[in-house]
Amino acid sequence: MTADLWTPPDEPDPSQIMDEAVADTRHGNYERALLKLRWCYENALRYDPHLAGVRSSFLLGYWHDLGKKYPPALDALRQTRDQAEVICRESNYAFHPFQDLASLNRQLGDRWRTAHLFKQVSQADREAAALIYGLAEPYLIEFGDFAACDPYLELQPRLGIAAEQYRLQVEFEADYDDEPHSPPKVARRFYLDDVTALISLLIRNGRHAEAKQAYAIALETIDDAEFRESLDGAMRGRLPESLF
């Protein structure tokens, strides 16, 4: 019966199949839509690695929307999440399997599971936890697990990477300044959120001297009144609003 509903073509285009699934959902062809979305999630990166971001965001959103109309789709999404957790554990919590699991938990409204699993990893294998901490930090913050962040708040590597990413993003945005459909300006906000999260977490873990040092280093990249005001808030323990 499944093969009668849909099978992938010999040369599949994941983007096209995903668009078809959205159309199937709109027209009430729910079972076919589920087959296509599940296929895309499991196979898209084999055909187009550039779809990684779409796979972990829009595709899961379409799948979740389908689940609101067609309960078996939501069951299938949960099953995929459970399988992802098994894969994550078997990989010894490697970055990409943990990233997949975090995306699925986020879409299912189970973000607490990501925070909980990270704390388990942290207790068992500090080295493995360090590699996935950046993925887990927003969820640890959301649930107030500030102490769980403490061992992974490394000042120099994080600020250096954040500054370099800021510069690269600014250059990318500048290349599109004259384009009619230029991308949104996000470099400053991303840098600000990263730096203020770090400073606030340092403060909340009693590492005030390092927080002051981070403040000074951050000003080497951006220094204006608005930026300083945000850093001052972080020095009082205020976290970025974008995390909530």
- The per-type count for the chain, helices as H runs and strands as E runs, is 14, 0
Note down pLDDT in tens along the chain; length 244 residues: 465 789 999 999 999 999 999 999 999 999 999 999 999 999 999 999 999 999 999 999 999 999 999 999 999 999 999 999 999 999 999 999 999 999 999 999 999 999 999 999 999 999 999 999 999 999 999 999 999 999 999 999 999 999 999 999 999 988 877 777 777 889 999 999 999 999 999 999 999 999 999 999 999 999 999 999 999 999 999 999 876 5
Question: Domain segments of the chain: what residues?
Answer: 1-69, 89-152, 154-243
CB 40 within 8 A of CB 59: yes
- Rounded distance, CA 12 to CA 182, Å? 30
Please report the pLDDT score of residue 111 as a whole number.
97
Please report the pLDDT score of residue 3 as a whole number.
59
- Rounded distance, CA 82 to CA 101, Å? 8
Please report the pLDDT score of residue 1 as a whole number.
45
Q: Which two tokens stand for residue 196?
A: 């203020």
**9 C-beta neighbours (distance < 10 Å), count:** 9
Q: At what angle do helices 225-235 and 208-218 cross, to 10 degrees?
A: 170
